[in-house]
Structure 1
Amino acid sequence: MTTQPVAEQIARLLAAEGHDTIFGLLGSGNFVFTDAFARDFGGRFVWVRHESAAVAAAATYAQVTGRLGIASVHQGPGVTNTLTTLTHAVRERQPVLLLAGETGRGLQVNQTIDLAAFAAAAGARVHRVLRSEDAISVISRAMAEAQKFRIPVVVGIPTDVQVEEIEWTEPPPPASPNTPLSRPASADIEAAADIIQASKRPFILAGRGAVLAEARNEIEALGERIGALYGTSLVANGFFVGNERSVGVCGGFSSEVVPRIVPEADVVIAFGATINQWTAMHGTLIDRSKVIQIDTEEGALGVNGPVRLGLIGDAARTAAALLHELERRGYESEGFRGSDELKELQGFVAADEFGPVEAEGVIDPRSLVVELDRLLPLERTVTYDSGHHHWWPTAFIRVPDAQGFVAAQGFQSVGVALGVALGSAVARPDRVSVVFIGDGGTLMQLGELDALTAQRRDAIVVVYNDGAYGAEVHHFQPMGFETEHVTFGTRDIAGIASAFGASSAVVRSVSDIGEALSAWEEAGRGTLLLDCRVNPAVRSERLQEAFRAH
Structure 2
Amino acid sequence: MEQTTTRSSAGLILSLLKEEGVDKIFMVSGTDYASFIEEKVRDPSLPDFVVVPHEITASAMALGYSLGGKMGVVAVHTVPGTLNALGIVSNAYTSRIPLLVLAGRSPYTEEGSTASRNLRIHWTQEARDQGEFGRQYLKWDFEIRDPTQTSVALRRALQIARSEPRGPVYLTIPREVSVKEAKPSNVKMSPYEPGPSRESLREAEKLVEESERPAIITWRGGRRREWYEAITEFANKLGAPVLNYVGEVVNYPSGGPMALDKLDMKEPDLVIVIESEVPWIPKRVKVKAPVIRIDVEPSYSYIPYYGFPCDVCIQSTPMALKEMQIRGKDRWSEEIRERVEKQREYKRKEIGNLENSSRVHPRLLSSYVSQLGAIVVNEYPFNPRYGSFEYGEYYADLAEGYLGWALGAGLGIRMATGRDVVITTGDGSFIFGVPEAFYYVASTYGLPAMVVIYDNSGWLASAEAVEEVFPEGLAKAKRMFPGADFKRYNIGETVKAFGGYFRLAETPEEARSALTEGWNNVKKGGLSVVQVVVERTR
Corresponding residue of 1:138: 153
Extract unaligned runs of 5+ from structure 1.
249-256, 541-550
1:157 aligns with 2:173: yes
**Matches of residues 121-520 of structure 1 in structure 2 within 5 Å?**
121-149=136-164, 150-166=166-182, 168-175=183-190, 182-185=195-198, 187-209=199-221, 211-212=223-224, 214-232=226-244, 235=247, 237-241=249-253, 244-247=256-259, 257-259=261-263, 263-271=266-274, 273-276=275-278, 279-282=279-282, 284=284, 287=287, 289-297=289-297, 299-300=299-300, 304-316=307-319, 318-323=320-325, 326=326, 332-339=328-335, 341-349=336-344, 350-353=347-350, 356=354, 362-374=359-371, 376-377=372-373, 380-386=374-380, 390=381, 392-401=382-391, 403-429=392-418, 431-444=419-432, 445-450=434-439, 451-476=441-466, 479-481=473-475, 482-520=480-518
How far residue 181 of structure 1 moved from its aligned partner, in angstroms, is 6.5
Q: How many residues align?
A: 503
User: Which stretch shifts more, 229-238 or 12-21?
Assistant: 229-238
Letter in structure 2 aligned against 1:373: S
Structure 2 residue aligned with 1:111, among 125, 131, 140?
125
CA contact (8 A) 1:119 1:125 kept: no
CA contact (8 A) 1:13 1:171 kept: no
Deviations 1:376-408 (A, max 9, x none): 02xx2222224xxx3x4223233231x222224
Corresponding residue of 1:41: 45
**SS of the residue aligned with 1:109?**
helix
Structure 1 residues 222 and 125: CA distance shift in structure 2, 3 A: closer
CA contact (8 A) 1:289 1:308 kept: no
Letter in structure 2 aligned against 1:439: D
Structure 1 residues 285 and 245: CA distance shift in structure 2, 3 A: farther
How far residue 14 of structure 1 moved from its aligned partner, in angstroms, is 1.7
Structure 1 residues 171 and 460: CA distance shift in structure 2, 3 A: farther
Structure 1 residues 87 and 170: CA distance shift in structure 2, 3 A: same
Corresponding residue of 1:546: none
Structure 1 residues 312 and 347: CA distance shift in structure 2, 3 A: same
How far residue 96 of structure 1 moved from its aligned partner, in angstroms, is 0.9
Extract unaligned runs of 5+ from structure 2.
111-121
Deviations 1:29-52 (A, max 9, x none): 235415744862242322322112
Structure 1 residues 461 and 133: CA distance shift in structure 2, 3 A: same
> TM-score normalised to the size of structure 1?
0.82
CA contact (8 A) 1:425 1:432 kept: yes
Corresponding residue of 2:527: 527
CA contact (8 A) 1:71 1:99 kept: yes
How far residue 343 of structure 1 moved from its aligned partner, in angstroms, is 0.9
How far residue 263 of structure 1 moved from its aligned partner, in angstroms, is 4.5
1:61 aligns with 2:57: no
**SS of the residue aligned with 1:531?**
strand
CA contact (8 A) 2:239 2:258 kept: no
Work out the CA distance in 1 between the residues paired with 2:513 and 2:181.
Answer: 59
Deviations 1:104-124 (A, max 9, x none): 126771111221211314344
Work out the CA distance in 2 between the residues paired with 1:123 and 1:230.
Answer: 31
Corresponding residue of 2:119: none
Work out the CA distance in 1 between the residues paired with 2:272 and 2:357.
Answer: 45
Letter in structure 2 aligned against 1:432: D
Corresponding residue of 2:115: none
Work out the CA distance in 2 between the residues paired with 1:31 and 1:78.
Answer: 16
**SS of the residue aligned with 1:434?**
strand
Structure 1 residues 70 and 2: CA distance shift in structure 2, 3 A: closer
Corresponding residue of 1:252: none
Structure 1 residues 296 and 501: CA distance shift in structure 2, 3 A: same
Structure 1 residues 420 and 487: CA distance shift in structure 2, 3 A: same
Structure 2 residue aligned with 1:23, among 22, 26, 32?
26
Work out the CA distance in 2 between the residues paired with 1:13 and 1:41.
Answer: 12
User: Structure 1 vs Structure 2: percent identity of aligned residues?
Assistant: 21
Work out the CA distance in 2 between the residues paired with 1:71 and 1:115.
Answer: 16
Work out the CA distance in 2 between the residues paired with 1:207 and 1:83.
Answer: 23
Letter in structure 1 aligned against 2:177: V
Structure 1 residue aligned with 2:12, among 9, 13, 16?
9
**SS of the residue aligned with 1:504?**
strand
**SS of the residue aligned with 1:491?**
coil
Structure 1 residues 286 and 421: CA distance shift in structure 2, 3 A: farther
User: RMSD over aligned Cα, in angstroms?
Assistant: 3.1
Work out the CA distance in 1 between the residues paired with 2:170 and 2:193.
Answer: 28
**SS of the residue aligned with 1:246?**
coil
Structure 1 residues 384 and 263: CA distance shift in structure 2, 3 A: farther
Work out the CA distance in 1 between the residues paired with 2:214 and 2:169.
Answer: 40
Work out the CA distance in 1 between the residues paired with 2:59 and 2:193.
Answer: 31
Structure 1 residues 42 and 215: CA distance shift in structure 2, 3 A: same
**SS of the residue aligned with 1:270?**
strand
**SS of the residue aligned with 2:163?**
helix
User: Which stretch shifts more, 10-19 or 71-80?
Assistant: 10-19
Letter in structure 2 aligned against 1:480: L
CA contact (8 A) 1:213 1:315 kept: no
